[in-house]
């Protein structure tokens, strides 16, 4: 199976690929195709997830493979912003991947593991109810959106969903090119420090005079 891959998408999703996750199969980028239903890139660290779908790539069979983070980093180092398209050749039988880019050829074995069934966590709708979110994760999604689009000042927007998974606009929806995408962000749990009970700080109250000292 051969297909073209925009490395801007790889660079964008790399923002949330973990490097030392004990679930080793998360330490890479998932490539996934569904028969006659497009092609997906997926990354997750268990707290947030991002995916990009390319409907212009159609496969005659289902398949998936995971490229290790080290390979992803090497591709990003090689990137030429004026020519971000690489050619991927996947060997189904041996789980081997050949990546050709700008005269370079990378051969790598896919990670031997099963990626999470990410389809299950995508909500059918969101409530708009405010949630509590890790600010670093939000910053990472903004960075992702700018990598995907080759920009610097693009914002990402969160469709909040209370205590359930929220949807993040990562700037990947380009229907004119058959490209679609989204981010997903888990809210902080009520056991996290962000939900500690709040009361007005005592240091905001005016100091009371020391009457003994006055006497």
Could you tell me which CATH class the domain 2-195 is placed in?
A: alpha beta
**The pair of three-digit structure tokens given for residue 11, joined into one six-digit string:** 């660079």
Given a contact cutoff of 8 angstroms between Cβ atoms, the answer to whether 50 and 42 are in contact is yes
Which 3 state secondary structure label does DSSP give 58? coil
**Residues with Cβ within 8 Å of residue 166, at least 6 apart in sequence:** 126, 131, 133, 158, 159, 160, 184, 185, 186, 187
pTM of structure: 0.86
pLDDT over threshold 80, residue 95: yes
pLDDT over threshold 80, residue 208: no
pLDDT over threshold 60, residue 196: yes
């Amino acid at each position: 199976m051969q297909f073209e891959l925009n490395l801007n998408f790889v660079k964008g999703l790399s923002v949330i690929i973990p490097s030392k996750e004990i679930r080793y199969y998360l330490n890479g980028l998932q490539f996934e195709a569904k028969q006659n239903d497009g092609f997906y890139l997926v990354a997750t660290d268990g707290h947030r997830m991002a995916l990009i779908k390319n409907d212009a790539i159609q496969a005659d069979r289902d398949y998936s493979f995971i490229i290790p983070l080290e390979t992803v980093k090497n591709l990003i180092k090689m990137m030429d912003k004026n020519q971000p398209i690489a050619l991927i050749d996947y060997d189904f039988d041996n789980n081997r991947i050949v990546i050709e880019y700008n005269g370079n050829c990378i051969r790598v074995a896919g990670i031997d593991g099963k990626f999470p069934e990410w389809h299950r966590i995508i909500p059918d709708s969101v409530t708009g109810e405010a949630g509590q979110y890790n600010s670093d994760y939000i910053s990472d999604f903004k960075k992702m959106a700018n990598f995907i689009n080759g920009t610097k000042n693009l914002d990402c927007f969160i469709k909040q969903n209370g205590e359930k998974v929220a949807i993040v606009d990562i700037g990947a929806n380009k229907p004119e090119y058959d490209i679609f995408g989204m981010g997903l962000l888990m809210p902080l749990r009520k056991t996290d420090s962000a939900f500690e009970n709040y009361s007005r700080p005592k240091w905001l109250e005016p100091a009371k005079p020391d009457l003994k000292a006055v006497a």
